[in-house]
Amino acid sequence: MGIDNPTEKQFYDIFLIACDERGIKFDKNVFIHLLREYYFSAGRPLKACHPRDLLDQLTDFATYRGERPAMTVELIDRAARSYFAELF
């Protein structure tokens, strides 16, 4: 017995909370892009830890570049490609 994966609605809510906790303005279009490109097309399950982890990656990339973290397609793509990297 384990913890079930979140539904799309739950994942959305978790993402909103994670954005709020980090002071990042949520962008619904970028969220939809993330779902389409990195979940639905890849057949990847939604995990409750992903919003936190992806937004932390996004924040690290932005901070390294001297930018304020923001939910942009460019930064979410960088975060997702790094987070979901396949090593082999």
Chain centre to alpha carbon of residue 69: 13
What would the pLDDT profile of 17-60 be if each residue is shown by its tens digit? 999 999 999 999 999 999 999 999 999 999 999 999 999 999 99
Chain centre to alpha carbon of residue 41: 15
Roughly how many angstroms between the first and final C-alpha of the chain, as a whole number? 30
Going along the chain from its start, the domains and CATH numbers come out as 8-83 (1.10.8)
| pTM of this structure | 0.93
Q: How far apart are CA 44 and CA 39, in angstroms?
A: 5
Which of these, 22, 38, 42, 21, lies nearest to 30 by C-alpha position? 38
